[in-house]
């Protein structure tokens, strides 16, 4: 069944599909050197935090693309075009390291995630990166 943008049931299905893909990625990278460049295995703790983060994102915030990082963390990226970007790294703690680019401006920081509510600055940066200007 196709998922349509105006389908009120599409958000839970998209979120469930993203979480399923996240765990598939962890299963694909369970051992050291999974990337051929001595990467650590992807952390199941990081994946669990990423899953909780996905579930905590408000429905009106787009889901990210994600990938494994060489240190075993999970990278989440919102990259609508080459001039705007928001990316963050989820490791084994509640601290979310992030970086952003908007035109010629850029920055980085760290936010604490309580496991229930996505920090407001993270939501603001995701919106900055993904909303039409």
Tell me the per-residue pLDDT of 35-94, one tens digit each, with 9 for 90 and over: 889 999 999 999 999 999 999 999 889 999 999 999 999 999 999 888 999 999 999 999
pTM: 0.87
Order of strands, sheet of 105-112, starting from the edge strand that comes earlier in the sequence: 65-68, 74-81, 84-90, 95-102, 105-112
CA torsion sign for 59, 60, 61, 62 is positive
Question: Nearest Cα to 21, choosing from 87, 62, 66?
Answer: 66
Question: Nearest Cα to 38, choosing from 72, 76, 88?
Answer: 72
pLDDT for residue 108 is more than 50: yes
> Which helix (DSSP H) or strand (DSSP E) does residue 51 occupy?
helix 44-56
Q: How far apart are CA 43 and CA 59, in angstroms?
A: 26
Cross-strand bridge partners of residue 72: none
Contact 47, 55 (CB under 8 A): no
| pLDDT the model gives residue 5 | 45
């Amino acid at each position: 069944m196709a998922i349509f943008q105006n389908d009120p049931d599409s958000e839970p299905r998209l979120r469930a599909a993203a979480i399923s893909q996240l765990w598939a990625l962890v299963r694909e990278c369970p051992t050291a050197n999974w990337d051929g460049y001595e990467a650590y295995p992807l952390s199941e703790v990081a994946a669990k935090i990423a899953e909780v983060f996905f579930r905590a994102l408000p429905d009106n915030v787009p889901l990210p693309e994600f990938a494994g990082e060489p240190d075993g963390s999970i990278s989440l990226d919102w990259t609508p075009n080459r001039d705007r970007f928001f990316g963050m790294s989820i490791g084994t703690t509640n601290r979310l390291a992030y970086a952003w680019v908007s035109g010629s401006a850029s920055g980085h920081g760290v936010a604490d995630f309580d496991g229930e509510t996505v920090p407001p600055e993270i939501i603001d940066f995701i919106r900055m990166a993904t909303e039409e200007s």
